């Protein structure tokens, strides 16, 4: 009897450990991947966000260390050093032509050689039927603050890279470039890996092939990480969620990782290479568990 | 008392729902899985595409696994046995070994058959091919022990061999739910409630009773006509769109779904292959609209008593229609 009882005890220990391990992983994984409630219910959520965010990222990039931009610049102090986005919310109303992007930011600037910080609540208004550019900025509040740690890292490059990334999402959504110019994409080499399928070629042909394999859908940027390569180029790693319909008409999702190597040429980023692979989508907290 | 504790613990683990699966609309997981070549436990070369037409549940493991593999296969055995017999024929449980060196075809056969004779064990035969299959499904495994005495391993099935030491592994616990087209549609594991997995399997199977046929009749055609038409209503009673791929009948050389359209006062017939019939919608076939067109009749229509027609649907499969003719 004794060995059998011990066997049961081992089993109990194993399943309890498995359960609590999975539970902890579940809590952790879910807390790390907040998905807006309406993300998958509104077809145009990601596409709208990509347009709007691309525009606002470009705007923030433009006003950092630049006092001479026309229109709306008067809403901000001069000599901006860093802008940190604390919170962002896309507000769309069914049937309304306008879209709003509400941002809560902290902004540091130099005044009489002293670094000061302000917290802003502002809303960018868009009419995407007419233009990709925001039409108005509504300042809700401005408040002087004294952060414990000075803002750093939220520079012009930080925002221009994000402008590029969201513009790239727009391009992938539409399979055409409205925001990225040919200067950005000329001679770019694209390596596409989707399961057993691999395609290597120029950007246009790779996007066409990608369209054939993936079908129609929308891209939601989850994370951007940036680094400088040994040959002094910029490397962006983009984590993207994709949702759409595959060529057979089936609903389809993808977790995409794109590694994009860029070269800064004047005021724009030139794409040198793109490597794309499709990973296991984050649909279950236990999916990375090894036993 | 101990049995009760185990039972309650297992019940708790099983019915805790970690999954966000929605069986009504399981999305294809882009880039996860795909066709691969392997050798099955009957020593036959195979590829995953051989199972197209069936729903496949695929998992990774190895025969010396003392914990999750027997547990997973036991779970799959329970799920499989809860499926109706006719559904079982349309489902294939596949277990891919991550230790092809130890798991010989013969041993794999013995191990898998211990759980269910219908399950299939696969081996990539080489580490390179095994790694390829594992990578294809974004799964992982790693060696955690080498030279472990075989006596220390709790085996489901003992292998007849001279090896005294074996390797142990950690590996993904994920089960991949693959649809009849070979596309990965969802993932599960032993904690997925059995009813949820069964519902997901069922949602991927062709719904053979979803098409309702009503009021079918033949067009009144002259005795020597070389062609004729049939009309009626085709209703898709399921909650998903279906596609009428083709139409056939022994009475004519060519049978097609056509639509008559009027342009500038002139009628023209257009062949409508792959006609979508939306969920819970009826396609009405009538004169000057949709109809089944019979061309190059094999014999005069007035010599026939019945006309047999087969509608081939993507999900509902073949749907027969029989029209009795009154002369």
Kindly state whether B7 is in contact with chain A, defined as any CB-CB distance less than 8 angstroms.
no
Q: Which residue(s) pair with A119 in the sheet?
A: A106, A143
- Neighbouring CB atoms inside 10 A of B45's CB total 10
Does the distance separating the beta carbons of B16 and A278 come in below 8 Å? no
Mind telling me how many Å the CA of A121 is from chain B's nearest CA? 35
pLDDT of residue B213 exceeding 50, the answer is yes
The string over B46-60, giving b where at least 16 C-beta atoms fall within 10 Å of a residue's C-beta and e elsewhere, is: bebeebeebbbbbbb
Predicted local confidence at residue A147, as pLDDT: 85
This model of the complex carries an ipTM of 0.80
Q: Measure CB to CB from residue A214 to each of B26, B30, B186 and give the nearest one.
A: B30
User: How do A251-265 and B28-29 pair as beta strands?
Assistant: parallel
Q: Residues of B with CB below 8 A from A194's CB? A: 30-31
Number of A:B CB contacts under 8 A?
Answer: 119
Pairwise pLDDT comparison (A248 vs B177), residue with the higher score: B177
| pLDDT average, residue stretch B51-61 | 96
Distance from CA of A90 to the nearest CA of B (A): 25
Nearest to B189 among A242, A246, A286 (CB): A286
Q: Which position has the higher pLDDT, A129 or B228?
A: B228
Give the pLDDT score at B164.
76
Candidates B136, B171, B186; nearest CB to A290: B171
For residue A228 the two structure tokens come to: 């400088």
B3 → chain A, closest CA residue: A8
Question: Mean pLDDT in chain A?
Answer: 84
DSSP class of A290: B
Crossing angle of helices A2-32 and B2-15, rounded to 10°: 20
| Contact status of B27 with chain A (Cβ, < 8 Å) | yes
Whether pLDDT at A41 is above 60: no
Q: Using 50, 70 and 90 to split pLDDT, how confident is the model at A10?
A: low
- With CA atoms as reference, the chain A residue closest to B154 would be A7
Chain B residues touching residue A250 (CB < 8 angstroms): 27-28, 183
Does the CB of B6 have a partner CB in chain A at under 8 Å? Answer: yes
From chain B, pick out residues whose CB is under 8 angstroms from the CB of A197. 34
- Residues of chain B in contact with residue A248, where contact means CB-CB under 8 angstroms, are 181, 183
Which of B31, B34, B68 lies nearest to residue A254, judging by beta carbons?
Answer: B31
pLDDT at A175: 62
Range from A263-277, B51-65, B151-165, B296-310 carrying the lowest mean pLDDT: B151-165
Distance of CA B61 to the CA centre of its chain: 22
CA distance B27 to B29: 6
pTM exceeds 0.90 for this model: no
User: Which tokens go with A47?
Assistant: 């596409």
Tell me what pLDDT residue A28 has. 33
pLDDT of residue B153: 78
Q: Contact, B200 vs B17, CB < 8 A?
A: no
Strand extents, DSSP E, chain B? 28-29, 37-40, 45-47, 55-61, 91-97, 120-123, 141-149, 165-171, 175-178, 184-188, 211-218, 227-236, 242-248, 252-263, 266-271, 275-277, 282-285, 290-297, 306-313, 317-324
pLDDT of A13 over the 60 cut: no
Residues of chain B in contact with residue A251, where contact means CB-CB under 8 angstroms, are: 25-28
Contacts with A22 from chain B: Cβ below 8 Å: 16, 18, 191
Cβ contact, residue pair A284, B187, below 8 Å = yes
Alpha-carbon torsion (A171, A174, A179, A180), positive or negative:
positive
Cβ contacts of residue B193 below 8 Å, gap of 6+?
Answer: B14, B15, B17
Best mutation target, B4, B15, B31, to test chain A (most A CBs within 10 A): B31
User: In chain B, positions 260-319, which contact chain A (CB-CB < 8 Å)?
Assistant: none
pLDDT digits (tens, 9 = 90+) for B161-193: 667 788 899 999 999 999 999 999 999 999 999
E strand or H helix that includes residue B4? helix B2-15
Residue A279 has pLDDT above 70, yes or no: yes
d(CA B235, CA B282): 4
Q: Where are the alpha helices (DSSP H) in A175-286?
A: 182-185, 203-214
Q: Give B14-38 pLDDT, tens digit per residue.
A: 333 333 333 447 999 999 999 999 9
Tens-place pLDDT, residues A149-204:
889 999 999 999 999 999 999 999 986 655 677 777 788 999 999 999 999 999 98
pLDDT, tens digit, for every residue of A99-122?
999 999 999 999 999 999 999 999
Note whether A148 and A77 are within 8 A (CB).
Answer: no
Record: contact B3-A8, CB cut-off 8 A: yes
End-to-end CA distance of chain B: 77
Find chain B residues with C-beta within 8 A of A288's C-beta.
140, 172
Give the model's pLDDT for residue A6: 52
Using the Cβ of B172 and the Cβ atoms of chain A, whether some distance falls under 8 Å is answered with yes
What pLDDT was estimated at residue A11? 53
- The answer to whether residue A17 scores a pLDDT higher than 60 is no
Pairing relation of β-strands B91-97 and B55-61? parallel
Task: Give the closest residue to A219 by CA, choosing from A168, A169, A279.
Answer: A169
Following DSSP, what letter does each residue of A137-191 receive, concatenated? EEEEEEEEE--SS---S--HHHHHHHHHHHHHHHHHHHTS-SSS-HHHHTT-EEE
What DSSP string describes B108-142?
Answer: HHHHHHHH-TT-EEEE-SSHHHHHHHHHHTT--EE
Smallest CA-to-CA distance from A110 within A82, A130, A131, A80 is with A80
Quote the pLDDT of residue A222: 96
Of A165-179, A206-220, B288-302, the poorest mean pLDDT is in A165-179
Rg for chain B, CA atoms, rounded? 26
Residues of A with Cβ-Cβ distance to B26 under 8 angstroms: 251
What pLDDT shows up at residue A24? Answer: 40
A19 contacts on B by Cβ (under 8 Å): 9, 12-13, 16, 191
Q: Is the pLDDT of residue A3 over 70?
A: no
* Mean pLDDT to the nearest integer, B70-86: 95
How is B305-323 classified by DSSP, letter by letter? SEEEEEEEETTTEEEEEEE
User: What pLDDT score was predicted for residue B19?
Assistant: 36
Instruction: Give the chain B residue whose CA is nearest to the CA of A257.
Output: B31
**Å between A9 CA and nearest CA of chain B:** 8
Q: Which of B32, B36, B191 faces A22 most closely, judged by CB atoms?
A: B191
B228 vs B245, B278, B302, CA distance in Å?
20, 27, 11
Specify the pLDDT at position B157: 80
Strand order through the sheet with B55-61: B45-47, B37-40, B120-123, B91-97, B55-61, B175-178, B184-188
Given a cut of 70, is residue A146 above it in pLDDT? yes
Please give the residue that has the higher pLDDT: either A94 or B17.
A94
Confidence of residue B266 (pLDDT cuts 50, 70, 90): confident
Q: Report yes or no: A209 and A40 within 8 Å, Cβ to Cβ.
A: no
Return the structure tokens found at A129: 């039927």
Residues 121 to 150 of B: which have CB under 8 A from any A CB? Answer: 136-138, 140-142
Q: What mean pLDDT is predicted for residues B39-65?
A: 96
């Amino acid at each position: 009897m004794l060995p059998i009882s011990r066997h049961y005890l081992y089993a109990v220990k194993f399943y309890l450990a498995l359960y609590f391990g999975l539970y902890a992983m579940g809590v952790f994984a879910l807390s790390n991947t907040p998905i807006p409630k309406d993300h998958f219910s509104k077809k145009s959520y990601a596409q709208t966000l990509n347009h709007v965010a691309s525009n606002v990222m470009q705007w923030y990039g433009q006003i950092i260390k630049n006092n001479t931009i026309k229109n709306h610049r008067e809403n901000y102090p001069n000599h901006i050093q860093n802008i940190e986005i604390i919170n962002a919310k896309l507000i769309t109303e069914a049937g309304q032509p306008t879209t709003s992007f509400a941002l809560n930011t902290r902004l540091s600037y130099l005044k009489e050689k002293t670094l000061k910080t302000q917290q802003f609540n502002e809303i960018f208004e868009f009419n995407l039927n007419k233009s990709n550019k925001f039409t108005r900025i509504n300042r809700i509040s401005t408040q002087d603050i004294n952060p414990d740690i000075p803002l750093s890292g939220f520079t012009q490059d930080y925002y221009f890279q994000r402008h590029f990334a969201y513009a790239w999402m727009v391009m992938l959504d539409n399979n055409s470039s409205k925001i990225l110019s040919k200067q950005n994409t000329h001679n770019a080499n694209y390596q596409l890996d989707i399961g057993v399928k691999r395609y290597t070629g120029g950007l246009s042909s790779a996007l066409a092939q990608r369209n054939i394999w993936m079908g129609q859908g929308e891209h939601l940027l989850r994370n951007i990480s940036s680094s400088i390569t040994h040959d002094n180029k910029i490397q962006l790693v983009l984590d993207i969620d994709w949702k759409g319909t595959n060529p057979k008409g089936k609903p389809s999702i993808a977790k995409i990782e794109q590694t994009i190597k860029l070269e800064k040429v004047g005021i724009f980023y030139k794409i040198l290479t793109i490597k794309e692979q499709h990973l296991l989508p984050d649909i279950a907290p236990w999916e990375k568990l090894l036993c | 008392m101990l049995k009760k504790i185990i039972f309650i613990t297992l019940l708790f683990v099983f019915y805790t729902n970690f999954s966000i699966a929605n069986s009504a609309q399981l999305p294809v997981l882009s880039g996860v899985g795909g066709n691969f070549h392997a050798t099955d436990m009957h020593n036959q070369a195979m590829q995953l595409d051989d199972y197209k037409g069936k729903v496949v549940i695929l998992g990774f493991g190895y025969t010396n696994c003392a914990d999750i593999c027997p547990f997973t296969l036991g779970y799959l055995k329970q799920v499989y046995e809860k499926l109706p017999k006719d559904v079982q024929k349309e489902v294939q449980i596949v277990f891919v070994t991550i230790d092809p060196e130890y798991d010989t075809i013969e041993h794999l056969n013995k191990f898998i058959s211990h759980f269910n004779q219908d399950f299939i064990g696969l081996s990539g035969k080489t580490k390179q091919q095994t790694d390829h299959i594992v990578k294809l499904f974004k799964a992982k495994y790693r060696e955690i022990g080498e030279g472990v005495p075989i006596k220390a391993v709790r085996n489901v099935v003992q292998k007849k061999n001279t090896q005294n030491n074996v390797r142990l592994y950690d590996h993904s616990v994920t089960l991949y739910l693959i649809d009849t087209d070979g596309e990965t549609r969802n993932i599960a594991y032993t904690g997925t409630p059995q009813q949820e997995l069964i519902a997901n399997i069922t949602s991927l199977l062709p719904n053979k009773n979803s098409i309702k046929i009503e009021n079918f009749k033949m067009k009144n055609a002259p005795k020597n006509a070389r062609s004729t038409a049939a009309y009626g209503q085709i209703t898709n009673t399921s909650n998903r769109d279906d596609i009428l791929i083709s139409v056939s009948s022994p009475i004519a050389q060519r049978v097609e779904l056509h639509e008559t359209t009027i342009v500038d006062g002139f009628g023209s017939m257009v062949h409508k292959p792959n006609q979508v019939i939306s969920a819970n919608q009826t396609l009405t076939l009538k004169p000057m609209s949709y109809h089944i067109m019979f061309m190059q009749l094999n014999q005069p229509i007035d010599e026939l008593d019945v006309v047999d027609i087969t509608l081939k649907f993507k999900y509902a499969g073949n749907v027969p229609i029989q029209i009795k003719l009154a002369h």
